[in-house]
Amino acid sequence: MTERFLDGRQAFVTGGTSGIGLAIAQGLAAAGARVAINGLGDADAIGAAIESLRHAGAADARHWGADLRDAAAIEAMLAELQAWGRTDIVVNCAGMQFTGSIESMPRERWDAILAINLSAAFQTMQALLPSMAQRGYGRIINIASVHGLVASVQKAPYVASKFGLVGLTKVAALEYASAGSRDSGGVTANCICPGWVETPLIESQIQARAAQHGNDRAAGIADLLSEKQPSRRMSSTDDIAALSLFLCRREAHNINGASLPVDGAWTAQ
């Protein structure tokens, strides 16, 4: 059983209804936190996500469906969140991707990706960091990407947003580094930069590669990863959740302003 070191804490996870975000929210719940999530999904999917948080051990759980492209909607959500309780942990996990060359990239796609991947994170941090500093404990965990550290073709807005998120996180770390103490846990801001993570979103790609190898799933994954991820194995959503949970511990008070790759040595090349 996970140690309930987050009893009495409140966490907020964007992109928390599925994939990496939901796994992180479940980990926080198991550690005792009240957990608020924002994310997409129909009523059944959202209900299942909330139920999974309660089953994991959340002191309480709630969903907000604000559109993260809309600053006014985010502002209203954050006001309600703060009325619900003080937020000690923010995980900005919501993200959007669209591939295409710089030449062909529709401007509306650029605007939407920057809004969700970067501007929404800025807005949550701006609203919630000051009260964390007053209490002497707070955690900002931004789920960036290897594409916040290295670039790839056909991904201009995604790469720009993730490089921006890494930079924003470093600024927040510097501005709040002296808040709190070792005993209180301090206030930290860090990025996790995953490479390939096994989620339902990439299952079709796995299956396509597996079909080229006699329906051998492991061989298909290795082939898919062979170009960039030297380990040739994917991370799980639980791997990312475990790292996120460690960053919330008091002992992580001096891990601050870091961009932590979980990428099978992709960015070591």
The pLDDT tens digits for 94-114 are: 999 999 999 999 999 999 999
Confidence of residue 69 (pLDDT cuts 50, 70, 90): very high
Does residue 184 register a pLDDT over 70?
A: yes
Query: What pLDDT does 213 receive?
Result: 96
Please report the pLDDT score of residue 201 as a whole number. Answer: 77
pLDDT tens for each residue of 151-174? 999 999 999 999 999 999 999 999
Mean pLDDT of 17-25: 97
Query: Which pTM was predicted?
Result: 0.96
Phi, psi of 242 (to 5 degrees): -65, -40
Tell me the pLDDT of the chain averaged across its residues: 97
pLDDT at 37 over 70: yes
So what's the pLDDT on residue 1? Answer: 42
pLDDT at 85: 97
Task: Delineate the domains of the chain, giving CATH numbers in brackets.
Answer: 10-195+236-260 (3.40.50.720), 200-234 (no CATH)
Which residues form the catalytic set? 158
pLDDT of residue 2: 59
pLDDT in tens, 206-237: 999 999 999 999 999 999 999 899 999 999 99
pLDDT of residue 202: 85
